[in-house]
Structure 1
């Protein structure tokens, strides 16, 4: 990646993956949301911006980074620290003239399903602002697209085994799947159905296209990719 804004939230963070992203990115800005600072500290990575009400990060860790830019919120608020950090990332990409600037979000998932669902829904905010954003876990890549859209997959480039399609909203219409184990034409995916789960790329090149709605694409392997 040539330009990346890395947002580290307070959920599960694979430290080896975090280090790899930072080492392979030429131009990097790092935003820590509250307890996300602890993962960065463990990885030996200094954030550019720290945001939060600091109710979950250890004070001993926070005190080490008092010289960094800190944005502090009251603990009584109507948004999460993660949402504030993603909004800041959107603002920072808006200041950049490069079209290939990507927002990468780590620590979005964990043992709080409410926070996990809220964090994944933040991809819609990025999508609506036409930002290139992705949530990464140790074994998954999660992206959101707004129709109409065409997304290509290349077997020699992909490291994920399974590709699942989930509508964010009532439905996604006009879904065409080509080059996969389970192809489909003019499919309508609706909430409350598992129709789009666990497909696999079969051809050298596969394509998923759809006409309308918000489609979440989750690419997964059974175990962590190279981070075992």
Structure 2
């Protein structure tokens, strides 16, 4: 049995090759299952971690790093950089879903490549369909996708924005926010849901139809 296949449940942290920094290390907890996608695997190894899985075409990794990643990883999956149907991050995400985890945390999946960033946002829909809580975290934002109810707790993120993921989202109600909503509707192209602020220790977001991106942000 492969090492990762025996570690079902728990939290899976996927580290990909986008924008990374020391902030990403704070998302890793003791006992988390670690999946490094391409250059994300190199990042984990450089910081003393042994990925449960290193996966990708590794075209963003220097040749001298590949041997070290292979030796440090509990499982290694390398694919052809041209003849593949999925990005490295989506392959890592599919492996994570197969573990039926408690949660999937994605770091290093946002960056200068807008096409990759947008594709990685789409992975949240796949997680939602599987009913696995997922979030994308970068240096300034935490992003999740909801289709029913979400409880928000006060933390370091000062702002919260709501962006329709589907063409229309209905029945949006906000409790505990500076700008409340009651049975509201958001359509793509609207900015009504941008930059709200939590006024209570705990807030509540509910909706009745559609999918809604919830983006929590903080200043530099």
Asked if these proteins are the same fold (TM beyond 0.5), I'd say yes
Post-superposition CA distance 1:163-197 (Å, at most 9, x none): 00011121111101122111111111111111111
Kindly indicate whether the alpha-carbon contact (under 8 Å) linking 2:13 and 2:33 is maintained by their aligned counterparts in 1: yes
Q: Distance in 1 between matches of 2:60 and 2:128?
A: 28
Q: Distance in 1 between matches of 2:51 and 2:136?
A: 18
**CA RMSD, 1 decimal:** 1.6
Match of 1:197 among 189, 194, 202: 194
TM-score by length of 1: 0.86
Show the counterpart of 1:46.
50
Unaligned 5+ residue runs, structure 1? 224-228
Is 1:27 the counterpart of 2:31 in the alignment? Answer: yes
Show the counterpart of 1:105.
106
Match of 2:166 among 145, 148, 169: 169
Displacement of 1:38 in angstroms is: 2.6
Q: Secondary structure at the match of 1:174?
A: strand
After TM superposition, the runs of 4+ consecutive aligned structure 1 residues lying more than 3 A away are: none
Displacement of 1:65 in angstroms is: 2.3
Displacement of 1:14 in angstroms is: 2.1
Q: Distance in 2 between matches of 1:159 and 1:167?
A: 24
Aligned length: 209
Kindly indicate whether the alpha-carbon contact (under 8 Å) linking 2:169 and 2:185 is maintained by their aligned counterparts in 1: yes
Unaligned 5+ residue runs, structure 2? 1-8
Q: Secondary structure at the match of 1:31?
A: strand
TM-score by length of 2: 0.89
